[in-house]
């Protein structure tokens, strides 16, 4: 396996990508050049020997919670959202395979024509063999976000770190896009997130991470080389421990 002399701090990581991270400056859908840019960063950390699992959201295609607020049955809406994550996962798979990276898409819902069923031990084995594992379908259940799915999968695969990729430099005290006085927070505890009601991840996800002491690094995915910096231990974005 191709390797690099750079020393890794985190050997096994789970990368949480929002669906919005794949649509670039578009208002909807998948932006091919953005997907390619994301996959190039994944390729770079793969070359270092990092074992990688990815949980992808579906908000660029369909957001179940929003649809349920407009009157759609919540279970039906969440099922549609799970299918959106499968579409994004297949797009990621296609681009990574074009770059020569072996991948496996594993789904929490039964879609054997498109993806393997998610089985924890099999997912870990794929990672040990050097494959990037893309985990689709959320938890496979309605009422749970892909943030919660990422937290759950991070625990199951015994990830050293959960990386939450966003479009801002880390966690702020308020939305920096609308509040000029928002303060950047470089380090937080799980309890800080809960007590300050920071909307980094939903409360279920944060509670799971807290109970299992999995650190989270929140970073701007569009920053050049940010994933490589993270897995090598650089102090970028916000660290939640």
pLDDT in tens, the chain (241 residues): 444 446 899 999 999 999 888 988 888 899 999 999 999 999 999 999 999 999 999 988 987 777 777 888 999 999 999 999 999 999 999 999 999 999 999 999 999 999 999 999 999 999 999 999 999 999 999 999 999 999 999 999 999 999 999 888 899 988 877 888 889 999 999 999 988 888 889 889 998 999 999 999 999 998 999 999 999 999 999 999 9
Q: How much is the pTM? A: 0.92
DSSP structural state of residue 183: P
Polymer length of the chain: 241
Would you state the structure tokens that stand for residue 197, as one six-digit string? Answer: 């009601």
Residue 3 confidence (pLDDT) = 45
Structural domains in the chain, CATH included, are: 12-240 (3.40.1160.10)
Helix, strand, or coil here: 104?
strand
Q: Whole-angstrom Cα distance, residue 63 to residue 84? A: 8
The residue assigned the tokens 């929490």 is: 108
Helix, strand, or coil here: 212?
helix
Q: What is the maximal distance between C-alpha atoms in the chain?
A: 54
**Do the strands 171-172 and 184-185 form a parallel or antiparallel pair, or are they unpaired?**
antiparallel
Find the angle CA(42)-CA(135)-CA(69) to the nearest 5 degrees: 110
Q: Which of 36, 1, 5 is nearest to 21 (CA)?
A: 36
CA atoms 77, 83, 85, 87: torsion sign: negative
Residue 2 confidence (pLDDT) = 46
Residue 6 confidence (pLDDT) = 67
Residue 168 confidence (pLDDT) = 83
């Amino acid at each position: 396996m191709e390797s690099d002399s750079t020393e890794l701090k985190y050997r096994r990581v789970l990368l949480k990508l929002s669906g919005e991270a794949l649509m670039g400056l578009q208002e909807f859908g998948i932006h091919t050049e953005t997907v390619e840019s994301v996959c190039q960063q994944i390729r770079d950390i793969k070359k270092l020997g990092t074992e990688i699992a990815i949980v992808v959201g579906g908000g660029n295609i369909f957001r179940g919670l929003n649809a349920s607020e407009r009157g759609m049955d919540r279970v039906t809406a969440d099922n549609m959202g799970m299918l959106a994550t499968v579409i994004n996962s297949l797009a990621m798979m296609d681009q990574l395979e074009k770059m020569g990276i072996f991948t496996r898409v594993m789904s929490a819902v039964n879609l054997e024509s498109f993806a393997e069923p998610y089985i924890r031990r099999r997912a870990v084995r794929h990672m040990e063999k050097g494959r990037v594992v893309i985990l689709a379908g959320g938890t496979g259940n309605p009422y749970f976000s892909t943030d919660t799915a990422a937290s759950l999968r991070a625990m199951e695969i015994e990830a050293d770190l959960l990386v939450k990729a966003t479009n801002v430099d880390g966690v702020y005290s308020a939305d920096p896009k609308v509040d000029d006085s928002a303060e950047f927070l470089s380090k937080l505890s799980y309890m800080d997130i809960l007590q300050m009601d920071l909307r980094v991840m939903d409360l279920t996800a944060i509670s799971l991470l807290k109970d299992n002491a999995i650190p989270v690094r929140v970073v701007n995915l569009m920053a050049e080389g940010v994933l490589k910096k993270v897995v090598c231990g650089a102090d970028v974005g916000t660290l939640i421990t």
